[in-house]
Structure 1
């Protein structure tokens, strides 16, 4: 066996082990969500449980309307936030990548400064609630903290610098294109890998976000899926502790506490599992090229 074949075999085995280690918790989580509650308590989490149950999903079915509404809120927030984040990020990264822009270093400094320092949580809360009045609005789920990050801006800037030659800009200018035209018609379409990467970063951040709603939202109709799942878990713990009205009346409260945790987690990550494989090739290329120092 040649050195190249031996290397490929060893690399394949290592990647296979890593893949199994990465997939195993996911499979265990899904199986646990279909496992009987008593089975989980007595025998723990197993890949092949002796007794299956749909109690966790039956309980979730009773919350179907609320869960669907929360899904719609999260999907809408993720789509709007991701599109806005990509447009703002690429718009700021473009002049930073243009060598003809006189203030590119000044702009880079201000963006980099935000990576090192921030005003803190209390000033942010006061600013958003008293000046912008976003409390109990959908804007509270989009604007604070997630709309734009310095890391994504530098990632896009490096991609523009390393992947798009200066001759491309010069040719467009000779053809009479404006800076806006160059960005919209040439640069942005050629930046598909890094746009997909930044979009994935932003989308994951918006999908998994629960702190914005925790700080700025009190009305449950604005809750996204993550905040709703947390609220359901608190309600279940409340019922299981015997502090509910049912327990006060002497009725037995039986809820699939461990199984429903797994079901909630599965529901929360399902869309990401479906979408990520479609963007993986762009994600890898965007990170590799955009992370190179320009």
Structure 2
């Protein structure tokens, strides 16, 4: 089949193949290091073909089982609920800004744009969360993230600007209100950009540990990212204390392999989800960025 390909096509396939290998090799290296014995890592460094395999890092992460599984459930629930709510709020705001019959919509767009440049800071944000009682409960992991990203808002608004106004006008003549137009006409046509924005919000919620470290003290509410972050910190501290105190040098806690195992554990759901959203992701980014 390669004989029937022109030289530019062969060059393109070669570049894409090289880029694919460059993307796969780091992931494969992380996977192999996570199954490597810690002493081997200390002696030989990272390697795609370790001398000695070990699952001790995963045993350490899942020790007791319940805490990691509970954190998995919390992260999954927060990601699903938060993504759906944030996507709904962003879609409604984008529909409002794209509706030419809304007065001062450009002023509202400018107001949202200002938040992309200026931030009030951590202290006002924390005081607001305390006032709203967003501490030590599941809502403290969801509500702060509902303050949608202006980038996602403008991405969705630009996509909606590409939908002909005749559709809204025809529906209005037939007696449809804004909710009917938004949910029955606009949102079904916005599937690509909705999938793109949902992926953005999903990644933000899944990888979030900041809300947990600032607003949550109850270990039963720790999301997966923060739980594994605390575990890695404890392992690093124990290794440092062992070195300073001259403790048993034959016992080595797997700090490096735990880091890699943590990466594998946390990116698993996202890696499995992305292929299903890839076709919408690319189309939503391209169309939403050039229209409007």
TM-score (norm 1): 0.92
Spell out, residue by residue over 1:148-190, the C-alpha distance to the aligned partner (whole angstroms, 9 max, x if none): 111110000000012x111111221222211110001111111
Spell out, residue by residue over 1:197-254, the C-alpha distance to the aligned partner (whole angstroms, 9 max, x if none): 000000000111111111111111111111000111122123223469xx89979643
Residue 133 of structure 1 is matched in structure 2 by 133
Give me the whole-angstrom Cα distance separating, in 1, the residues matched to 2:127 and 2:246. 41
Query: Residues 293 and 190 (structure 1 numbering): CA distance in 2 closer, same or farther, change over 3 Å?
Result: closer
> Secondary structure of 1:106's partner?
helix
Aligned with residue 264 of structure 1, among 262, 266, 277: 262
CA shift for structure 1 position 31: 0.5
> Secondary structure of 1:182's partner?
helix
Spell out, residue by residue over 1:111-141, the C-alpha distance to the aligned partner (whole angstroms, 9 max, x if none): 1121121211111111111x21111111111
Residue 274 of structure 2 is matched in structure 1 by 276
| 5+ long unaligned stretches in structure 1 | none
Spell out, residue by residue over 1:48-103, the C-alpha distance to the aligned partner (whole angstroms, 9 max, x if none): 11211111122223141110011111111101110011000000000111112222
- Tell me the C-alpha RMSD between the 2 structures: 2.1
Per mean C-alpha deviation after superposition, the further-off stretch among 191-200 and 48-57 is 48-57
8 Å contact from structure 2 (residues 85, 146) kept in 1: no
8 Å contact from structure 2 (residues 161, 291) kept in 1: no
8 Å contact from structure 2 (residues 38, 256) kept in 1: yes
Give me the whole-angstrom Cα distance separating, in 2, the residues matched to 1:135 and 1:89. 24
Query: Residues 122 and 274 (structure 1 numbering): CA distance in 2 closer, same or farther, change over 3 Å?
Result: same
Residue 238 of structure 1 is matched in structure 2 by 237
Residue 103 of structure 1 is matched in structure 2 by 104
Give me the whole-angstrom Cα distance separating, in 1, the residues matched to 2:250 and 2:126. 43
> Secondary structure of 1:144's partner?
helix
Residue 154 of structure 2 is matched in structure 1 by 154
Give me the whole-angstrom Cα distance separating, in 1, the residues matched to 2:31 and 2:186. 42
Residue 186 of structure 2 is matched in structure 1 by 187
8 Å contact from structure 2 (residues 39, 252) kept in 1: no
Q: Name the count of aligned residue pairs.
A: 289
Matched, 1:66 2:64: no
Give me the whole-angstrom Cα distance separating, in 1, the residues matched to 2:88 and 2:290. 22
Give me the whole-angstrom Cα distance separating, in 2, the residues matched to 1:195 and 1:110. 23
Give me the whole-angstrom Cα distance separating, in 2, the residues matched to 1:126 and 1:58. 40
8 Å contact from structure 1 (residues 97, 160) kept in 2: yes
Matched, 1:203 2:202: yes
CA shift for structure 1 position 35: 1.0
8 Å contact from structure 1 (residues 146, 206) kept in 2: no
Per mean C-alpha deviation after superposition, the further-off stretch among 265-274 and 10-19 is 10-19
CA shift for structure 1 position 293: 4.6
| 5+ long unaligned stretches in structure 2 | none
8 Å contact from structure 2 (residues 159, 291) kept in 1: no
Residue 54 of structure 1 is matched in structure 2 by 55
